[in-house]
Amino acid sequence: MSRVAETFARLQAAGEKALIPFITAGDPNPGLTVGLMHGLVDGGADIIELGIPFSDPMADGPVIQRASERALAHKVGLRHVLAMVKTFRETNQHTPVVLMGYLNPVHVLGYEAFAQAAAAAGVDGVLTVDCPPEEAEDLTAALVAAGLDPVFLIAPTTPAERVREIARLARGYVYYVSLKGVTGAGNLDIDDVARKIAALREHITVPIGVGFGIRDAETARAISVAADAVVVGSRLVQEVEAATPETAVEQLTRLVATLKAAIR
């Protein structure tokens, strides 16, 4: 059983939902990322999604776009991200880390080489935003062979045939995009999300996390009623952007603790 599966099993046995915070590796500078990861755990993070900086995002709103730009200004690439995870693992062996990003850097490195390097660094899962399940067989096979969980996005517009294909390939959890739009967008319809999750459970057997548009404790609590996990990204990245390097870890830890308390 993977670290991700173990985490969900433990939480489900306790009647709890998972909190999955997202930050961008290398933002605001490479030296702070590992400290921020530990701060997320101290605040109550159950799983960490760590963003791989990318120059041409298609799903990220302006907040996360700026985070990637700050990281790329420090020349943070995929190998640097893996090194950060390896350093994190020196003192944390239990919190799952899922890399979230785009296919290009993975493709350049090579699927098998990437999967093996990610596993060696201590990564637990990989979500490639722009790799649809119909084109994911080779990458998924490489990830699974290395003991990593392939995580997929499901959107409100995902057709039933693609949902079934995702159900066949996904491990760890799936990430349901709660609205039509980019990260950080508003207009979240909680009742609609609950209906969509109920329909997805007819096909999806792994846990379902919900993200995009969750910005406060109240919304996180409402989403957690229907979902197995609550994913929060832009709000946390915004906190890092507004903080100084000296206060970022403390502020992020405090915000995550508020979100975790809300979904307990």
Residue 60 is a catalytic residue: yes
Looking at residue 223, its amino acid is I
User: Contact at 8 Å (CB) between 63 and 44?
Assistant: no
Residue 100 has phi, psi (to 5 degrees) of -125, 125
Catalytic residue among 46, 60, 124, 228: 60
User: Contact at 8 Å (CB) between 8 and 173?
Assistant: yes
Spatial distance between the Cα atoms of 84 and 105, rounded to a whole number of angstroms: 16
Cross-strand bridge partners of residue 151: 127
Spatial distance between the Cα atoms of 16 and 229, rounded to a whole number of angstroms: 9
On the question of a cis peptide bond just before residue 150, with omega within 30 degrees of 0, the verdict is no
Cβ atoms < 10 Å from Cβ of 35 = 14
User: Contact at 8 Å (CB) between 154 and 127?
Assistant: no
Residue 130 is a catalytic residue: no
Spatial distance between the Cα atoms of 140 and 170, rounded to a whole number of angstroms: 9
User: Contact at 8 Å (CB) between 143 and 126?
Assistant: yes
Looking at residue 49, its amino acid is E
Spatial distance between the Cα atoms of 55 and 89, rounded to a whole number of angstroms: 27
Catalytic residue among 27, 46, 49, 165: 49
The catalytic site residues sit at: 49, 60
